[in-house]
Amino acid sequence: MTGNKQKINPANNYFVEQEFEGLYGPYRITLTDKVEIQRYRLSLLLCGISFTAGIIQWLLIGPSLVWLWLISLAIGIGLTLNWIHIYLRSLHQVLKAFWIIGCIGILILIVNNGAQNLVTNLSNNPRLIISIGPLFAALTGIGFKEFFCFRRPEAIGLTLLVPLSLLGYISELLSKGIAISMLSVSAFLLLILSLRKFGMDAASDVGDKSIFNYLDSQKTANAL
């Protein structure tokens, strides 16, 4: 993004539209964009709170009710993917598919073993993690987007530590204690990442809208 102009939106005297010069032409950050980014950031914060609270409850109280935080995390990931801005639509759809598969996996485990036994069974039977692994693959994709776009060091917690800890535990290359420690660090970094997002300009999370417009026009042209 290069340069920007500001223009008062007559529909809302309190919001100033920003105009940028993008790769494929000018574009504006509208009130709708700002609302979507606010929802994205709140959804990401829900992920951070749920992940962190779930780990803390597991370590200090026990696993019986941690499934509630896992459900909350799944909801947060779904909402985040709904509001996230990703240039590659195919990648966006893949992440949504991972989220759906992961949610189905959680539902199957709850139906078969009961909600309160969910985390205990996952902890004692590493191979069961494969059934909900796609959910964390979607979360990893969100972290990759944040790291790729903003080079935020906290995003490493999602991009590297989450998949390494889960894959390491599934393959039995990592002990349960090490895997939980890595997930704890990941959760804390996600919480930091989500909190820091609120100090950023909305335009940074929207990205270059001219690229979205160009890709849409190319898709329409190819369909004709």
pLDDT for the residue 2: 45
Distances (CA, A) of 17 to 11, 66, 207, 211: 11, 43, 15, 19
CA distance 9 to 13: 6
pLDDT for the residue 223: 57
Residue 135's nearest CA partner among 113, 149, 118 is 118
Q: Are 155 and 185 in contact (CB under 8 A)?
A: no
Crossing angle of helices 176-196/162-170, nearest 10°?
160
pLDDT for the residue 126: 93
Q: Which residues of the chain have pLDDT under 70?
A: 1-16, 22-23, 214, 216-224
pLDDT for the residue 10: 47
- Which residues have CB under 8 Å from 158's CB, separation 6+? 139, 140, 142, 143, 144, 146, 147, 186, 189, 190, 193
Q: What share of the chain is helix, strand, coil (3-state, %, to 5)?
A: 75, 10, 15
Q: Is 3 helix (H, G, I), strand (E, B) or coil?
A: strand
pLDDT for the residue 224: 57
CA distance 36 to 30: 10
- Which residues have CB under 8 Å from 141's CB, separation 6+? 91, 94, 95, 98
Q: 115 exposed, middle or buried (CB, 10 Å; 0-12, 13-18, 19+)? A: middle
pLDDT for the residue 202: 84
CA distance 61 to 55: 10
- List, in sequence order, the alpha helices (H) in 61-161: 66-83, 89-113, 118-124, 129-150, 156
CA distance 147 to 155: 5
pLDDT for the residue 222: 62
